Amino acid sequence: MSRLDSAIRRLQAQRACLDRAASLIVGVPGPVVELGLGNGRTYDHLRHLLPGRAIFAFDRQLDAHPDCIPDAAHLVLGDFADTLPTALQRIGARAALIHADTGTGEAARNARLAAWLAPHLARLAAPGGVILSDQELTGLADEALPLPQGVAAGRYFLYRKGDERD
């Protein structure tokens, strides 16, 4: 498969998963977290899917298209190691949806980051909330959901946060 075809399949899978995640959080209170703003494409899509939700975007640095940059109250810049431990205080409530697009193209680095992210995202997600990731979050494996039709296994990962009785 060419790199172009792979990119198209990745973007199609991402859109299908974002659309599914948005439908799964109907009735789940809380804001949305976009972890990895990048150029802002998925942030922009989330604004259209969930116009009534506050969306907080986290990234190391700002590289987004000017039309896809959140206002200062909803943009958190800095290393995830510094910004995620205090994210709950920053966003004010547990998140109904967390989209983590953090892949670097380097498998070992991605695995380390995913292992570190899993417990942070689990603590940040509201009960019944959804975590969508471009990396497998093995710490959340028991909360995995099936992917939308047409999305290849391993392309994206979808999880629902359990209740707090555990």
Give domain limits for the chain.
3-160
Q: What is the pLDDT of residues 37-48, one digit of tens each?
A: 999 999 999 999
Q: How confident is the model at residue 142 (pLDDT cuts 50, 70, 90)?
A: confident
Residue 163's alpha-carbon distances to 30, 125, 126, 130, 166, in angstroms, are: 15, 10, 8, 12, 7
Say how many CA atoms lie within 13 Å of 3 toward its Cβ: 1
Say how many CA atoms lie within 13 Å of 102 toward its Cβ: 31
Q: What is the pLDDT of residues 93-125, one digit of tens each?
A: 999 999 999 887 788 888 898 999 999 999 999
Pick the CATH number of 3-160 from 3.30.70.980, 3.20.20.105, 3.40.50.1100, 3.40.50.150: 3.40.50.150
For residue 164, the model assigns a pLDDT of 60
Q: Assess contact for 114 and 147: CB atoms under 8 A.
A: no
Instruction: Give the mean model confidence (pLDDT) for residues 137-152.
Output: 91
DSSP 3-state assignment of 125? Answer: strand
Q: Enter the DSSP assignment of 25.
A: T
Q: How confident is the model at residue 71 (pLDDT cuts 50, 70, 90)?
A: very high
Task: Select the more confidently predicted residue: 104 or 17.
Answer: 17
Task: Select the more confidently predicted residue: 1 or 72.
Answer: 72
Task: Select the more confidently predicted residue: 83 or 1.
Answer: 83
